[in-house]
Amino acid sequence: MAEETFDTIVIGVGAMGASACRELSLRGLSVLGIEQFAPGHDQGSSHGHTRVIRKAYFEDPRYVPLLHSTYDHWRTIESECGETLMVMAGCINIGPADHPAIKGVLQSVTEHKLAHDVLRAGEIHERFPAFCCDECDIGIYETDAGFLRPERCISAMVSQAQKRGAVIRTGERVMHWRAAADRVTVETERGEYTARSLVITAGPWFPIVCGDLGLPLRVERQVQTWYTPQDAANFSVGRLPSFIHFTGDRAYYGIPIDVAAPTPFDRAVKIARHHGGENTTADTVKREVTAEDEADVRTYIRRCMPGADGTLAASKVCLYTNTPDENFILDRHPHHGNVWLAGGFSGHGFKFAPVVGEILADFVTKGHTASPVGLFSIARFGRRS
Ligand SMILES: Cc1cc2nc3c(=O)[nH]c(=O)nc-3n(C[C@H](O)[C@H](O)[C@H](O)COP(=O)(O)OP(=O)(O)OC[C@H]3O[C@@H](n4cnc5c(N)ncnc54)[C@H](O)[C@@H]3O)c2cc1C
């Protein structure tokens, strides 16, 4: 079998891999991206037509500088492909003022002076009639936010990488890889490839591709559900922003109707629960959605967004790959100086794809990055033998 050689091989061309291929090829490296399905597929973590993008980050204010940078990158990617990838529909975080996530949102907007409005429960309903919030809820609304179109984002990044010479092999699964000081070898079902460095962006397959590291990752089944609202106007861009609602010990999120999505998604509002799914693996996950899966979201809708209590228009299983602290992994492989890891995106990574690609390209070309990546170090899990 012929062996082909590249500067860098990227395992997995989903959100992060497509971005890594784009950034590495922009820097003049010869890149091979290997993807077991086709980019934009619906088996991993990056499908479902919309993803929230926001800066008022409840998770940790340290993400905000990366968010500023990722917005700039998305605009560059958008202007090159000539398509709208990011829809600035706004975003509102809703919950009791003393909820840790709401406090986190307020900390991010204050520390980073992000433009926002704080609304009381009644004001939320007046401005965005779809919501019926609890009296104790407040809303923090930001206009510099909205949603991305993930399949189109990936396709744009892949095309831009290919335009600069990147080779993307699809329908090819990596079976093994090994690394020596100045060379990595990747074996797929079809052949063997070598390169000077390796980037692993395997999404929910990350625990399999990096199985030897025994990282404390938990792959979680998540169900995305779309509803046909009674009054579509109240659930459309301009009337409904993207949202996250913290209520009790649960969080629900939603994204307004995106008229540019394929049918039936172009007339349905996405409303789903964040976390709360069962543990699984990417190869064995139950892909069918049952009535039981939908029941919890339906209860939420009846209480807090009654106008969306219509037909279930569509549903799709998706996967989170969670780290214990829900911060990402972006680091050098602990045993191989020329292998770089990007995983554990814990259900909030998509918006960061361009900046993750930039960081990975910095790692590969310089061995370090000026971006703040302290939160993402692999050392926080302790020594990996
Ligand atoms: C329901 C849901 C809602 C979400 N909402 C948001 C949101 O609103 N905002 C946000 O920012 N993030 C959100 N996320 C998270 C975000 O989508 C993910 O963090 C992000 O898409 C992860 O990208 P990835 O490249 O790591 O994984 P993926 O895009 O899944 O890519 C990994 C790729 O690697 C390939 N691969 C794996 N193993 C191999 C192998 N051995 N050989 C070849 N190819 C391989 C896979 O086929 C796959 O294409 C959500 C996720 C889900 C599931």
Each residue's pLDDT, cut to its tens digit, for the chain (385 residues) gives 457 899 999 999 999 999 999 999 999 999 999 999 999 999 999 999 999 999 999 999 999 999 999 999 999 999 999 999 999 999 999 999 999 999 999 999 999 999 999 999 999 999 999 999 999 999 999 999 999 999 999 999 999 999 999 999 999 999 999 999 999 999 999 999 999 999 999 999 999 999 999 999 999 999 999 999 999 999 999 999 999 999 999 999 999 999 999 999 999 999 999 999 999 999 999 999 999 999 999 999 999 999 999 999 999 999 999 999 999 999 999 999 999 999 999 999 999 999 999 999 999 999 999 999 999 999 999 976 6
Mapped onto helix, strand or coil, the DSSP state of residue 138 is strand
Residue nearest to atom 49 of ligand 1 (CA): 14
Q: What is the pLDDT of residue 383?
A: 73
Model confidence pLDDT, tens digit, residues 174-194 = 999 999 999 999 999 999 999
Q: How far does the centroid of ligand 1 lie from the alpha carbon of residue 40, in Å? A: 10
* Cβ atoms of residues 140 and 109 within 8 Å: yes
Q: Domain residues of the chain, as ranges?
A: 4-46+151-216+325-381, 88-147+218-322
Rounded alpha-carbon distances, angstroms, from residue 119 to 93, 136, 139, 140 = 10, 11, 5, 6
Residues 83, 73: Cα–Cα separation, whole Å: 14
Q: What is the pLDDT of residue 126?
A: 97
The alpha carbons of the chain give a radius of gyration, in whole angstroms, of 21
Residues 321, 328: Cα–Cα separation, whole Å: 9
For the whole model, what pTM was predicted?
A: 0.98
44 lines ligand 1 (CB under 6 A): yes
270 lines ligand 1 (CB under 6 A): no
Q: What is the pLDDT of residue 375?
A: 97
133 included as an active-site residue: no
**Of the residues 8, 50, 225, 323, which is catalytic?**
50
50 included as an active-site residue: yes
In this structure, the strands spanning 250-255 and 269-274 are antiparallel
Q: How far does the centroid of ligand 1 lie from the alpha carbon of residue 44, in Å? A: 5
* Cβ atoms of residues 348 and 328 within 8 Å: no
Q: Torsions phi, psi of 211, nearest 5?
A: -55, -35
> In sequence order, what are the residues at sequence separation of 6 or more whose Cβ sits closer than 8 angstroms to the Cβ of residue 128?
92, 234, 239, 240, 241
**Of the residues 270, 273, 316, 333, which is catalytic?**
270
Q: How far does the centroid of ligand 1 lie from the alpha carbon of residue 79, in Å? A: 24
The atom of ligand 1 lying closest to the CA of 253 is: 8
Q: What is the pLDDT of residue 4?
A: 87
21 included as an active-site residue: no
Residue found by looking up tokens 């009644």 in the block = 122
Q: What is the pLDDT of residue 2?
A: 55
CATH superfamily of 4-46+151-216+325-381: FAD/NAD(P)-binding domain (3.50.50.60)
* Cβ atoms of residues 329 and 323 within 8 Å: yes
Q: How far does the centroid of ligand 1 lie from the alpha carbon of residue 170, in Å? A: 16
Q: What is the pLDDT of residue 385?
A: 62
Rounded alpha-carbon distances, angstroms, from residue 136 to 122, 250, 363 = 10, 16, 46
340 lines ligand 1 (CB under 6 A): no
Residues 359, 361: Cα–Cα separation, whole Å: 5
The atom of ligand 1 lying closest to the CA of 319 is: 53
CATH superfamily of 88-147+218-322: D-Amino Acid Oxidase, subunit A, domain 2 (3.30.9.10)
**Of the residues 274, 298, 332, 380, which is catalytic?**
274
**Of the residues 8, 21, 22, 51, which is catalytic?**
51
147 lines ligand 1 (CB under 6 A): no
187 lines ligand 1 (CB under 6 A): no
- The DSSP call for residue 236 is B
